[in-house]
Structure 1
Amino acid sequence: MRKNWPAWSGYAAASWSLAYGVLGIFWAAGGADYPFAKVDEDHSTGSLLEGAPVDIVAPAMAVLGLTGAVVAVVMTRRQPRGWLLQAFAGVLAVGLALVIPDYTLLAIVALSPALVVFAFTGVPGEQGGVGDILYWHRVNLVLMFVGGLLWAATALAYHRRARQACISCGRSEQPDRAWTTPSAALRWGRWAVAAAVVANLPYEFTRVAWYFGWPLGITDEFHRMMADTPGMLEIGLAMALMGVGGSVLTHGLVHRWGEVYPRWIWFKAGQRVPPSRAIVPASVVALVLIPAGLMNLRMPFEPDNWALTAPGALAIVWGAALGAATYAYYLRRRTTCRRCGRGSAPGSVLTSRSGAPAGRSSGSRAGSPRAGSPATAPRRSRTRSVRSARAGTRPAAAPPTSG
């Protein structure tokens, strides 16, 4: 399934678009459960479309959905031509995955272990259950995010086909650009890691300060309100500590222990870290950070309570930098493509304690040609010539080519 994503992602994007196109018609005709309708404050979201009138948004959803269903099929089945379809898919991907959602996705990722427990034990406090947390307005934003990812995959596959590159790895006959080499990726990847760590420091520092009684960036009245609300300061502290933990893990994208398990993970020490084990979670976190940051950027700025929104808005920088660091890690760890055969051994410039590149098996020797590779052909030809000479014969001539 992972290997064939360029094919099924286009059809999945078409199915998703068709479903929302039909729903757009339904809501335009007065159907119930329009997901951006005005609701009470406890069940509203921070989406860009929250409270948008149904008579404008629903017809637009119908048109974009039905059009998108056709476009996604065309992009998957037809030969790429021009940039118009790529632009259409790219705009849909960015809008659905990054612009329309709010902090819901980040909250789900951060609180996913607790949500699993709450599904069996119930939600503490006055909430009636998980349904009071994941209600339709929020679930719709998750579905919008999924649709954005499908359109991003469709656009990427189409773009690679237009470049006549491998649809799986993106490599082509052209030589790799200088900034994509392992050594270059390590250099700018370190800057990306530093930017990701620094961008989250204001959020971590303010939430820890609030927990210990210092109303940094907020009024005394607001701090007193939070202190009087059970669990509010504790949740802020927990989120800050999770951010610190995430910053520590981010360093693994440019350090040896991100490629080979360190000693303190005793049951895996010395073993190779599968690249997907770092790339997948880091990519998810990078993507969900950006909508949360954009939501904070849209909120009214209060100078007396600047710490409520300003540190959260920096999540845009945090997500973008984390995404760049993750891509640099991918460039260093990628191997030979199974579809096109391009590439070589893991390209990481970080080495193990033995001096061999991290991730390379001990049974292979660096620089030795593989059987069947072009480097072995001359040696075999010379061997045949020597044997023929010893036998008093000449090697067979190459068959004549047609003029």
Structure 2
Amino acid sequence: MSIQIKAAGPAAAYGTLGLYWTFAGHGFPFGRDDPRNGTSVLRTLDPAVIAPIFAGMLLITAVLLLIMHGSGSQERHPSHEYRSELPLPAGHPTRAARLAMLGWCWAVVVALVIVVPDTRLLTLAGYLPILIVGAPFGWPPIDYGIVFNWQHANQVVCLALGLLVALAVLRWQRRTAGACEACGRDDRAGGWTTPGAAARWGRWATGVAAAVPAFYAVVRLAWAAGIPFGISDEFLAEMQRTGMVWAGLGLGAFALAGAVLTLGLVQRWGEVFPRWMIGLAGKRVPIRLATVPATFVALAVTAASLGLYSEPELYTSELSLAHIPQLAWPLWGAALGAATYAYHLRRRPACRDCGRGLVRSREPQAY
């Protein structure tokens, strides 16, 4: 079963659920009916309007994915040996049709992974370790029904669906461009995607991607230590009274750990497990062990920054040091995405489908 078929099924199912929300008149998890939608880009929209749009968007996408499955098909080479050329795609759509299909599907991907999620998804990811560890001890004292709710579940579903559709569309885009569907390589010079080039621009992206969360962590950890960094003494006292300062401590620790792990994208220990890791020492770090969580964080941060910048309070309240790290979230998301892609380009192995990449060194590279 092709990836386009695998993505079309969930898209059609979720689109059908959108039709139910449309005709039932209730249950749509986004828009004005979301009780905690303060940072959602969709918070002012009427569910009666947005629900049918949501349903139609996904159903049309499902149809386009089925069309992609049947067009631009490409033979798989029976061996893993290098070939200088791949067969030209069969059933290749016209240029206009291809651009229209790609434009629609990528717009839907952006809507699902960037527009629908808001700051709550990033907050949930930051709080999750604390909630899991503290749950048996009844700490922190919160209502778990508020954290694990219908709206959050749908944000996670939309993110997962968007990533699945993105993978399906990306493979078709490569296929119809005459490139390898699996790895995206073709016979043209690699340019900025070569391992050497990726190492150079990846260093800059990694530095920025680590600096922003580190600054965010410094602010939150200062509050936990009783230092009113960027806030008033009264507000800090209120945070200490309500326990918010400990939530900030968790987010700060999460951000600091993320900053350190981000640096691993350009360090040797990000490619080979260090000696102190018993049982793993000396073994190569699986590429996806780094790229999958980093990609999730990059998307979650970008989505959160879009919701943050849509808040009127951001432009009407007085700017302070407490706000600056959050204002830099768009830069953080873009830099982390670029750093992750550079890491992937440096470390990706030879393609098993087309054989390209056999000439590059398999030795770990530290920069």
Q: TM-score, normalised by structure 1?
A: 0.77
Asked if 2 retains the 8 angstrom alpha-carbon contact of 1:44 and 1:137, the reply is no
* 2:332 maps to which of 314, 318, 321: 318
- 2:100 paired with 1:88: no
Q: Look up the match of 1:26.
A: 20
Measured at CA, do residues 298 and 220 of structure 1 come closer, stay the same or move farther in structure 2, by a change above 3 Å? Answer: farther
What is the deviation of 1:37?
5.1
Q: Any conservation in 1 of the 2:213–2:258 contact (CA below 8 Å)?
A: no
Q: Where do residues 32-71 of structure 1 align in structure 2 (5 Å cutoff)?
A: 32-36=26-30, 38=32, 43-44=36-37, 46-71=39-64
1:148-201: CA deviations, max 9, x gaps?
112211221121012111111011122322x12222111111101111122224
Q: Who is 1:16 aligned against?
A: 10
Q: Deviations over 1:93-136 (max 9, x none)?
A: 11110122112332333333445457777674251xx4331111
User: Are 1:332 and 1:346, in contact at CA under 8 Å, matched by a contact in 2?
Assistant: no
How far did residue 347 of structure 1 move? 4.1
On the 8 A contact 2:216/2:252 being kept in 1, the answer is yes
Partner of 2:200: 187
Q: Which of structures 1 and 2 has the bigger CA Rg?
A: 1
Q: Quick check: 1:288 aligned with 2:300?
A: yes
Residues 21 and 65, structure 1, Cα contact 8 Å, conserved in 2: yes
> Given the superposition, is the C-alpha separation of residues 14 and 120 from structure 1 closer, same or farther in structure 2, using an over 3 Å criterion?
farther
In the alignment, structure 1 residue 255 sits paired with structure 2 residue 255: no
Contact kept? 1:334, 1:347, Cα under 8 Å: no
Contact 1:297 1:310 in 2 (8 A): no
Conservation of the 8 A alpha-carbon contact between 1:21 and 1:66: yes
Distance 1:347 1:92, change over 3 A: farther
Partners in 2 of 1:37 and 1:350 — Cα distance? 48
For 2:139 and 2:13, the matched residues in 1 are separated by 32
Greater RCO structure (CA 8 Å; 6+ sep): 2
Question: Equivalent of 2:286, from 274, 284, 294?
Answer: 274
Task: Provide the rounded CA distance (Å) in 2 between the counterparts of 1:250 and 1:23.
Answer: 38
Unaligned runs of 5+ in 2: 73-91
* Residue in structure 1 matched with residue 123 of structure 2 by the alignment: 107
Correspondence for 1:367 = none
Tell whether the 8 Å contact from 1:292 to 1:312 is kept in structure 2 after alignment: no
- 1:217 to 2:205 alignment: no
Determine the C-alpha separation between the residues in 1 that align with 2:330 and 2:294. 15
- Cα separation, 1, equivalents of 2:137 and 2:68: 46
Partners of 2:60 and 2:33 lie apart in 1 by 30
Deviation for aligned residue 1:307? 4.6
**Alpha-carbon separation, structure 2, partners of 1:40 and 1:285:** 24
What letter is aligned with 1:159? Q
TM-aligned CA distance change 1:84 to 1:123, over 3 Å: farther
Query: Is the 1:165–1:171 contact (alpha carbons within 8 Å) kept by the matching residues of 2?
Result: yes
| Match status 1:140 vs 2:154 | yes
Provide the C-alpha distance between the structure 2 equivalents of 1:314 and 1:273, rounded to a whole number of angstroms: 30
Which amino acid in the other structure matches residue 23 of structure 2?
A: A
Structure 1 counterpart of 2:185, one-letter code: R
2:208 touches 2:335 (CA, 8 Å); kept in 1? Answer: yes
Contact 1:293–1:316 (8 Å) recurs in 2: yes
User: In structure 2, do the counterparts of structure 1 residues 126 and 94 end up closer, same or farther at CA, with 3 Å as the change threshold?
Assistant: closer
CA deviation after TM superposition for structure 1 residue 318, in Å: 1.2
Shift of the 259–21 alpha-carbon distance from structure 1 to 2, 3 Å rule, reads closer
Q: Which amino acid aligns with 2:141?
A: G
**Structure 1 residues 102 and 245 mapped into 2: Cα distance closer, same or farther (>3 Å)?**
same
Tell me the alpha carbon deviations over residues 372-400 of structure 1, each in whole angstroms, 9 at most, x when there is no partner. Answer: xxxxxxxxxxxxxxxxxxxxxxxxxxxxx
Give the share of equivalent positions with the same residue, in percent: 38
Structure 1 CA distance, aligned partners of 2:121 and 2:105? 22
Deviation at 1:266, TM superposition (A): 3.9
Q: How far did residue 295 of structure 1 move?
A: 1.8
1:73 is displaced (CA, Å) by 0.9
CA contact (8 A) 2:127 2:251 kept: no
Q: Distance in 2 between matches of 1:53 and 1:93?
A: 22
Change (3 A) 1:266 1:281: same
Equivalent residues, number: 342
Contact 1:219 1:305 survives alignment (8 Å): no
